[in-house]
Amino acid sequence: MTKSIVIAVGGNSLIIDPKHQSIADQYAAVSATSRRIASIIERGNRVVITHGNGPQVGFILLRSELARKEKTNFCAINYMFRLQP
């Protein structure tokens, strides 16, 4: 029997602990999560993946606002929607 499973990835699930909040740390966490999701799919399940945004969006927006005040480079909007190592 095929199951339909909804998995929310993002938000606090990408931050393992306070010492691992960098983009590289979150990339490693989502890579591990992706492997687990792949095994669920390989077992014949249907999967829908959502993202809750969580603190990542807030961090990016805060960083942009701080950079704007300092008149330095700020995070471009297109970067906000891509996870890069």
Confidence band of 4 (pLDDT split at 50, 70, 90): very high
Residue 18 DSSP class:
T
Tokens of 7: 């998995």
Q: Are 46 and 4 in contact (CB under 8 A)?
A: yes
Tokens of 20: 């691992």
Confidence band of 84 (pLDDT split at 50, 70, 90): very low
Burial class of residue 25 (count of CB atoms within 10 Å of its CB; 0-12, 13-18, 19+): middle
**pLDDT for position 8:** 82
pTM score of the predicted model: 0.58
Instruction: Name 6's bridge partners.
Output: 48
